[in-house]
Amino acid sequence: MSTPVIGVLALQGDVREHLVALAAADAVARPVRRPEELAEVDGLVVPGGESTTISKLAVLFGLMEPLRARVRAGLPVYGTCAGMIMLAGKILDPRSGQETIGGIDMIVRRNAFGRQNESFEAQVDVKGVGGDPVEGLFIRAPWVESVGVQAEVLAEHGGHIVAVRQGNALATSFHPELTGDHRVHGLFVDMVRADRTAGSL
C-alpha cells in the first residue's frame, strides 16, 4: 500500500518540527490550513503552540466544524501539548470562548506543570513504544485530570496522566517532535496505516 499522507494543522505552533518528524517516520507530511487540504489527508497532527490561538484561528479559517466532523468520523489524529488540549472533550480552565475539536473523552488542565520557565525534561514510559523510555519535553504542558472509560492511559508522569489514546486519537502532554526521537510519531503512523488497511478491506 502507498505511503500514508499525514497533515499537520498549520494555524500556529511547531508545525515544521512535526513535518520533519513525520517524514522521518515514513509518512508523506503536509501542512493543512484549509478544509480542502483537510479532506485529502489520511491522518492529522495538531501541534504544540497556544491552544487558545489555534482554537480562534480554526474558527476563523472555517476549519473547526470540518475538523470535528472528520475526527468524529474516525480520522486518525495526534495532538501534542496544545494539540492535546484541542483533542480534549473538556478543558478544566478554558479561556473564554476557547473551543476544542474533541476526540478523546478526557478533561485536561492547561499549564498544569507550570509556566514557561518551569519547563522540564523527563523520562516517560509510553505504552506501545518499544525500547527505552521516551525523553519527554514538557513546555507549559497540560496534564489530564481524568479520562472516560473508552480512553486508554499510555503514560503518566509524577502521578499525572500525560499520554492517552482513544480509538484513532492519540495525545501527549509532551513534545516528541522536538527531541529527534521519532518513535511516538512512528506509533501514530502505524495507527494511520492500520486505519487505511481496515478501510480498504
Ligand X SMILES: NC(=O)CC[C@H](N)C(=O)O
Q: Which of 82, 144, 151, 178 binds ligand X (CB under 6 A)?
A: 82
How many CA atoms within 13 Å lie on the side-chain side of 158?
12
How many Å apart are CA 12 and CA 15, to the nearest integer?
7
Per-residue binder mask for ligand X (CB under 6 A), 101-140, x = binder: ---------xx---------------------------xx
- Contact status: 81 vs ligand X (CB under 6 A): yes
Which residues within the stretch 39-78 sit at the binding site for ligand X (CB under 6 A)? Answer: 48-51
> Annotation-wise, does 130 bind a ligand?
no
Site string for ligand X, 168-187 (x = CB under 6 A): --------------------
Tell whether 51 is in a known binding site: yes
Catalytic position from the list 17, 18, 157, 177: 177
The three cell numbers of residue 27 are 509518512
Question: Residue for cell digits 503536509?
Answer: 30
Q: Is 135 labeled as catalytic in the residue annotation?
A: no
200 is in an annotated binding site: no
Q: Does 101 appear as a known binding residue?
A: no
| Catalytic-labelled residue, pool 81, 157, 182, 185 | 81
* 195 C-beta neighbours (distance < 10 Å), count: 18
Beta bridge partners of 43: 6
- Quick check: is 157 catalytic? no
Minimum separation from the CB atom of position 21 to ligand X (A): 15
Q: Is 81 a catalytic residue?
A: yes
Report the residue number, 111 or 179, with the smaller CB distance to ligand X: 111
Given 18, 157, 175, 182, which residue is catalytic?
175
DSSP 83-149: HHHHHEEEESSPPTT------EEEEEETTTT--GGG-EEEEE--TT--SSPEEEEESS--EEEEE-T
Tell me: is residue 65 an annotated ligand-binding position: no
Q: Is the Cα torsion angle 86, 12, 140, 99 positive or negative in sign?
A: negative
**Please, what is the Cα angle at 191 between 163 and 167, to 5 degrees?**
60
Q: Which among 56, 50, 112 has a CA at the least distance from the CA of 80?
A: 50
Which residues here bind ligand X, judged by CB under 6 A? 48-51, 81-82, 85, 110-111, 139-140
Q: Please identify every residue annotated as catalytic.
A: 81, 175, 177
Q: Residues at the annotated binding site?
A: 49-51, 110, 139-140
Q: Residues at the annotated binding site for L-glutamine?
A: 49-51, 110, 139-140
